[in-house]
């Protein structure tokens, strides 16, 4: 541990990736696709391998939306604040990823972390950027 260091990352590769980028000195860091909730009432992104696996399970009279809903209900559900100000459902696993991301960011206040194009859970200390202009203005302009 003295030679290689340690990580605070939890069970998500996103948490490990964020922690590694901070240790590598990256600044700013942009989190993309880290919704940590059932954005659009979906468990997986529509372009993910896991969504394709759900699609292959569709049988007559079963919709993809129903399969996403059933997958989302496998674990205990909670509500979290959304980047748009409303509330979204998440489950206990994604909630733990959300809290781990927040703890990593909070432990490294010298690194700027932004939540890019998110429609999911609000990540504390990671301002939401919704456009290329915001990226340029908030992340690459010197602070005065």
Q: Are 120 and 37 in contact (CB under 8 A)?
A: yes
Write the CB contacts of 101 (distance below 8 Å, at least 6 apart in sequence). Answer: 14, 15, 18, 31, 34, 36, 123, 126
- 21 versus 117: which is more confidently predicted? 21
Q: How many helices (H) and strands (E) are present in the chain, helices listed first?
A: 5, 5
Nearest to 36 by CA among 136, 128, 107: 128
Q: Over the stretch 18-66, which tens digit does the pLDDT of each residue have?
A: 999 999 999 999 998 888 887 665 555 555 555 555 445 555 445 556 5
Residue 54 forms part of a structural domain: no
Neighbours of 103 (CB within 10 A): 17
Q: Which two tokens stand for residue 86?
A: 């409303």
Q: Looking at the domain assignment, is residue 124 inside a domain?
A: yes
Q: Is 73 helix (H, G, I), strand (E, B) or coil?
A: coil
71 within a domain of the structure (yes/no): no
Q: pLDDT per residue over 66-85, tens digit each? A: 555 565 556 677 888 888 78
Q: Is residue 55 part of a domain?
A: no
Total domains in the chain come to 1
The CA-based angle 62-35-128, given to 5 degrees, is: 145
At residue 60, the pLDDT reads 46
Domain for residue 2, yes or no?
A: no
Domain that holds residue 19: 13-45+76-139
Q: Is residue 85 part of a domain?
A: yes
Please report whether residue 69 resides in a domain.
Answer: no
0.85 cut: is pTM over it?
Answer: no
Q: Is the pLDDT assigned to residue 110 strictly greater than 80? A: yes
List pLDDT tens digits, range 18-28.
999 999 999 99
Q: Within a domain: residue 8?
A: no
């Amino acid at each position: 541990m003295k030679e290689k260091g340690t990580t605070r990352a939890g069970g998500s590769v996103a948490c490990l990736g964020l922690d590694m980028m901070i240790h590598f000195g990256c600044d700013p860091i942009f989190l993309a696709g880290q919704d940590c909730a059932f954005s659009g009432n979906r468990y997986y992104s529509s372009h993910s391998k896991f969504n394709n696996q759900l699609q292959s399970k569709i049988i007559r009279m079963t919709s993809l939306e129903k399969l996403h809903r059933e997958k989302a209900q496998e674990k205990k559900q909670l509500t979290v604040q959304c980047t748009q100000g409303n509330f979204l459902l998440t489950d206990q696993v994604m909630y733990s990823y959300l809290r781990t991301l927040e703890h990593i960011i909070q432990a490294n206040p010298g690194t700027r972390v932004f939540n890019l194009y998110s429609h999911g859970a609000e990540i504390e200390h990671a301002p939401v950027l919704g456009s290329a202009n915001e990226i340029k203005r908030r992340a690459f302009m010197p602070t005065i």
